[in-house]
């Protein structure tokens, strides 16, 4: 699984003009699922995001996690993260999991994070979403359960 994780001051996800998720300070994660991903990868990704130390402590160092600052995790599925644009000009999405495989794993990320005591908001799986956010820092990190980066 892959995620683009951004520290945000606020974010909102809309579908067809209706807000389906709003959040204040925390992390917004765009999450992609590959063919070989399973429950273990979903749990690992959720734990990494919840415990990622990217929030400032009293000394101004990035030393606190989402759990430490009582922030919100926003999870938005995005199959294009599994895209391969190494050749040509049109990305290939053959590595992206089919929706029936990916949706339960995105939900497993959400449930694992909630189980770790973090508030979670989500987009709508498979929908054409608009994501608006105010990146804080900016702090943006790439996570991959295969440790590709």
In a domain, 28, yes or no: yes
Question: What's the predicted TM-score (pTM) here?
Answer: 0.95
Inside any domain, residue 58 = yes
Q: Any idea what the CATH number is for the domain that residue 72 is in?
A: 3.50.80.10
Residue environment code for 64-76, b if the CB has 16+ CB neighbours within 10 A, otherwise e: bbbbeeebbbbbb
Catalytic residues: 78-80
Q: How many domains does the chain have?
A: 1
Domain, as residue range, for 128: 2-144
Task: Look at residue 27 and tell me if it is in a domain.
Answer: yes
The answer to whether residue 88 is domain-embedded is yes
Q: Per the domain annotation, does 149 fall within a domain?
A: no
Q: Is 90 exceeded by the pLDDT of residue 149? A: no
- Whole-number Å distance between alpha carbons of 54 and 50: 10
- Residue 47: inside a domain, yes or no? yes
Res 147: pLDDT: 84
The Cα–Cα gap between 47 and 116 comes to 8
Q: What residues contact residue 143 under an 8 Å CB cut-off, 6+ apart? A: 2, 3, 5, 45, 48, 49, 52
The tens digit of pLDDT for each residue in 85-130 reads 999 899 999 999 999 999 999 999 999 999 999 999 999 999 999 9
């Amino acid at each position: 699984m892959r995620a683009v994780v951004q520290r945000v001051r606020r974010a909102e996800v809309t579908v067809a003009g209706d807000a389906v998720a709003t959040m204040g300070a925390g992390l917004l994660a765009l999450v992609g699922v590959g063919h070989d991903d399973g429950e273990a990868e979903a749990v690992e990704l959720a734990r990494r995001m919840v415990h990622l130390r990217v929030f400032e402590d009293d000394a101004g160092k990035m030393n606190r996690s989402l759990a430490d600052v009582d922030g919100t995790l926003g999870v938005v599925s995005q199959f294009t993260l599994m895209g391969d644009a190494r050749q040509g000009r049109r990305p290939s999405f053959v590595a992206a999991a089919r929706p029936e495989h990916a949706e339960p794993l995105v939900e497993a990320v959400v449930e694992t994070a909630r189980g770790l005591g973090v508030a979670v908001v989500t987009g709508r799986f498979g929908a054409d979403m608009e994501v608006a956010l105010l990146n804080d820092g900016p702090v943006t990190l790439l996570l991959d359960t295969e440790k590709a980066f």
